[in-house]
């Protein structure tokens, strides 16, 4: 058995079904073995960077390890942004990179590159294999690190000659499983007592609560406290729940801002948020002023980072909430029953052809269980501010690392991980020109993803940011218009182009919901300032 075959068998034993990347000389050992392993699907992308985003989204959606492969040299460096993204998103992704044969190291071999060193600051673990007997052991060790504690990416560089070495068939040891982080019962008791003592408060929810939505709603219904989410957590909780009051932070709703800044709610219960810049409206002190702060997280580094935390509880969010619920119930508190309201349509600003109206009309035309991946651009503010959450898990927004084009790869990774819900990617022309060729990957794997490209022929977020901060914007931030729908059509992908609001009919959108990918281009230059909330004040304040 070749050494790489043992690795692939091990990964398969852990539920890995897709491996993302691009074949090349230094990793051909992996791809050759997959010929004889039909239970593993090599997802061949157009760029390694997109493969990394796919693997991360696959891990996030499937709750399994994501795996990505790139060749030595440029393939490795192309993966770096995706590794940094996975690290920031705390997603378990195994990055496998090729390396030149061990007997050519230091001889200026083609694509020779020490990837171990450059991956070290971007991953939880990075190593180069120096013997075939170590390969499977190192892979298993790296995977255990990726899945343990705070999940994250790991990297292994495998020289080509080691990949191809014959080894005795090894025993495939049990695949590592993440051990839960159990909260301290005494801290939980103290927290429950404080929740009862303070009586009024707000539940502030971040992305880290993604695996604890039922517990989160149950606790809020026991306390009868309103729930506000960060931009990154938009989509976790349905808007139809009476306690859900919207998004605070970047592009948040004014109703949520008023709730978070008033003095009536004496306690702030933070669940799964690191309280970063976009989550806190540039670290607004009003978030915690005059409040008792209780924070639940599995990452100890988030406590007292910027805001003083009166009572931190270290543990997995679902377990911490379950223990809190039990304490409150034993104290006599009962859950109040809430009826979900029918999801109301957002008010229009007439029939003006603008981003807000386009997104509202688009959402009304798509199935209610659609899962959206949102790219980086001025449209992102409108999505956070205006689009509704009819069902839990509706949005995947990467405001943290903010990599342009990442939503295109994410849509493909999500679709491969879970085909039970339709996927729509909302991206922009700037993002599309970075990773738009991945629509061919979606075509080749027959993935039913609708790619919506907001085309304003400029870097819209940059344009508005510069205009607010410097009162001018360089003309080179704009570009000559490109017909992106025609590009898609030339690739054999169903497409449509919208240039006025009347063009955006439900029939047009529904005609694009085909078994494979499709593309809808929205040609729109919106001069309105995006609803970025306090970010507008922040940018406008420069020079004053």
What is the per-residue pLDDT across 274-301, written as a single tens digit (0 to 9) for each? 999 999 999 999 999 999 999 999 999 9
Contacts of residue 294, defined as CB under 8 A and 6 or more positions apart, other chains included, come to 191, 194, 195, 267, 268, 269, 270, 309, 310, 311, 312, 313
Q: Report, as an integer, the average pLDDT of 92-103.
A: 93
Q: Give dist(CA 29, CA 15) in Å, integer.
A: 21
DSSP letter, residue 252: -
pLDDT of residue 539: 55
Using CA of residue 433, residue 445, residue 494, residue 453, what is the dihedral sign? negative
What is the per-residue pLDDT across 196-205, written as a single tens digit (0 to 9) for each? 999 999 999 9
Bridge partners of residue 159, in order along the sequence: 99
pLDDT of residue 110: 78
What is the per-residue pLDDT across 437-489, written as a single tens digit (0 to 9) for each? 999 999 999 999 999 999 987 675 676 576 777 778 787 778 889 999 999 99
DSSP of 39-80: TSEEEE-S-HHHHHHHHHHHHHHHTS-EEEEE-TTHHHHHHH
Q: Give dist(CA 162, CA 29) in Å, integer.
A: 9
Structural domains of the chain, with CATH? 3-164 (3.40.50.970), 185-330 (3.40.50.1220), 355-540 (3.40.50.970)
Give the strands of the sheet with 423-428, arranged side by side: 395-397, 371-374, 423-428, 449-455, 518-523, 495-498
* Confidence band for 531, pLDDT divided at 50, 70 and 90: confident
What is the per-residue pLDDT across 36-62, written as a single tens digit (0 to 9) for each? 999 999 999 999 999 999 999 999 999
What is the per-residue pLDDT across 169-187, written as a single tens digit (0 to 9) for each? 888 889 999 999 999 999 9
The overall average pLDDT reported for the chain is 93
DSSP letter, residue 247: E
């Amino acid at each position: 058995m070749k050494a790489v075959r043992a690795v692939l068998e091990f990964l398969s034993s852990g539920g890995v079904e897709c491996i993302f990347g691009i074949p090349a000389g230094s990793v051909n050992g992996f791809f050759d073995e997959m010929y004889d392993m039909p239970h593993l699907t090599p997802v061949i992308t157009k760029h390694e960077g997109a493969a990394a985003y796919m693997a991360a989204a696959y891990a996030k959606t499937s709750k399994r390890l994501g795996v990505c492969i790139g060749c030595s040299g440029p393939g490795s460096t192309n993966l770096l942004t995706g590794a940094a993204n996975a690290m920031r998103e705390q997603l378990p992704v195994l990055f496998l990179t090729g390396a030149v044969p061990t007997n050519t190291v230091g001889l200026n071999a083609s694509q020779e590159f020490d990837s171990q060193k450059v991956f070290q600051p971007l991953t939880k673990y990075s190593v180069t294999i120096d013997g075939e007997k170590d390969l499977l052991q190192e892979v298993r060790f790296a995977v255990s690190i990726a899945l343990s504690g705070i999940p994250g990416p790991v990297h292994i560089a495998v020289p080509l000659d080691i990949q191809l070495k014959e080894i005795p068939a090894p025993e495939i040891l049990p695949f590592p499983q993440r051990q839960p982080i159990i909260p301290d019962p005494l801290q939980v008791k103290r927290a429950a007592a404080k929740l009862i003592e303070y009586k009024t408060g707000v539940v502030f929810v971040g992305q880290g609560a993604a695996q604890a939505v039922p517990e989160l709603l149950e606790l809020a219904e026991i306390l009868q406290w309103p729930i506000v989410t960060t931009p990154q957590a938009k989509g976790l909780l349905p808007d139809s729940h009476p306690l859900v009051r919207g998004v605070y932070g970047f592009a948040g709703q004014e109703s949520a801002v008023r709730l978070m800044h008033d003095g009536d709610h004496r306690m702030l219960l933070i669940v799964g948020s690191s309280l970063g810049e976009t989550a806190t409206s540039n670290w607004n002190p009003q978030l915690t002023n005059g409040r008792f702060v209780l924070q639940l997280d599995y990452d100890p580094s988030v406590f007292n980072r910027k805001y003083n935390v009166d009572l931190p509880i270290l543990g997995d969010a679902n377990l911490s909430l379950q223990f809190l619920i039990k304490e409150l119930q034993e104290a006599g508190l009962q859950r109040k029953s809430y009826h979900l309201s029918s999801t109301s349509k957002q008010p229009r600003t007439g029939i003006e052809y603008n981003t807000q109206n386009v997104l509202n009309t688009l959402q009304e035309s798509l199935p209610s269980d659609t899962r959206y991946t949102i790219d980086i651009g001025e449209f992102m503010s409108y999505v956070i501010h205006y689009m509704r959450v009819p069902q839990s898990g509706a949005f995947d927004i990467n405001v943290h690392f903010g990599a342009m084009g990442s939503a295109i790869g994410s849509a493909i990774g999500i679709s491969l991980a879970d085909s039970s819900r339709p996927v729509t990617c909302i991206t922009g022309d700037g993002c599309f020109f970075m990773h738009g060729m991945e629509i061919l990957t979606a075509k080749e794997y027959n993935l039913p993803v609708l790619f919506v490209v907001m085309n304003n022929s400029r870097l819209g977020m940059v344009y508005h940011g510069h205009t607010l901060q410097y009162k001018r914007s360089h003309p080179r931030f704009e570009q000559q218009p490109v017909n992106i729908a025609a590009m898609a059509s030339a690739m054999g992908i169903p497409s449509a182009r919208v240039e006025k609001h009347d063009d955006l009919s439900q029939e047009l959108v529904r005609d694009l919901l085909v078994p494979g990918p499709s593309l809808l281009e929205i040609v729109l230059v919106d001069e309105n300032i995006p609803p970025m909330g306090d970010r507008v004040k922040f940018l406008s304040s420069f020079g004053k």
